[in-house]
Amino acid sequence: MPFDPRLDAYRELGLTPDATPEEIRRAYRRLARRYHPDHAPEGKQHEYEEKMKRVNAAYAVLRNPHRRAQYDQLRQNGAVTPRGPSASPTARATAPNDPYMQMRVGYQQRLYRMQVNTRQLPVWAQLLSGLFAGLGLVMGFLMGLPFGIVGCIPGALVGLIGGMLVGLFAVYLLLLGLPVGLLALGGYWALGMPGLLLGALAGVPIGWLWMRRALGRSR
C-alpha cells in the first residue's frame, strides 16, 4: 500500500520519530478513544471522522516495523511533504545543518507532544497549565531580548515548555493535596487534632488515585 505523501504519521499521533512501539500503541488507543465519531459533540461529527481517518492511517504506517522503516526512509529523502495543520516541523524546508533550526524544531516537537497530552486533562487543569505556560512564554521572551531575535524565539519556546511543565506539576499537586486538605479540615472540626491526622491520612489514597487518573489520561 503506497504512503500518502501529505501524511505526517508521527505528528498525527503526537509522537517523535524515536517513539517506541509501545508508545505508538498507547498514543493510538488514546486518540481512538478521544476522536471516535460516537464521542463527537454536536456539529463536529465530520471533523472527528476526518481526524480518525488520519489517526488510523498514521497507525497503519507506524505499527508495522517494515512499513515504518520504509516511511522513515521516505521522510529522510524528502518524499513525505505534509501540508496543513498536521504538517510536522521536521518536514518543512529547513537547513539540516543549522543548529539553531534543529534546536527550535526539537522544542517544537516537545511542545506539540505536551499539547496533545494536556488536551486529555479536565478543562480547569488545561486552563491552569495554560496560565503557567503563558507566564513562561513571556518570561522566556524577555530573557532572550538582550540577544535579539536569535534569543527571543528559543527563549520563548523554552519558557513556554517550562511553564507548561510547572503548570502540570501544580495540577498534580492540587489533585493530590485537595482531598488531603479537605478531609484533614473536616476531621479537625469533628475530632480536633486526632481527626486532622486521620483525615489527612484518609485523603492521601484519594488524592493519589485522582493524580494517577489524570496521569493516565494525559499519557
pLDDT tens digit sequence for 110-135: 555 555 556 666 777 778 878 888 88
Q: State the amino acid at position 25 in one-letter form.
A: R
- pLDDT-wise least confident of 1-5, 27-31, 126-130, 185-189: 1-5
163 vs 130: CA distance, rounded Å: 8
Taking 3-state DSSP, the helix, strand and coil percentages for the chain, each rounded to the nearest 5, stand at 80, 0, 20
| Distance from C-alpha of 178 to C-alpha of 81, rounded to nearest angstrom | 47
Burial of 210 per CB tally in 10 Å (0-12, 13-18, 19+): middle
**Cα(157)–Cα(99) distance, rounded to whole angstroms?**
15
Query: Residues with Cβ < 8 Å from 85, sequence gap 6 or more?
Result: none
Topology of domain 1-93 in CATH is Helix Hairpins (1.10.287)
Average pLDDT in the chain: 77
Residue 180: how many other CB atoms lie within 10 Å: 19
Q: What is the pLDDT of residues 64-98, one digit of tens each?
A: 888 888 888 877 776 565 544 444 434 333 334 44
Angle at 50 between CA 12 and CA 90, to 5 degrees: 25
Decide: residue 81, CB within 10 A, 0-12 exposed, 13-18 middle, 19+ buried.
Answer: middle
C-alpha span between 5 and 7 (Å, rounded) = 6
pTM value is 0.44
Residue 203, pLDDT above cutoff 50 = yes
Q: Where in the chain is the domain with CATH 1.10.287.110?
A: 1-93
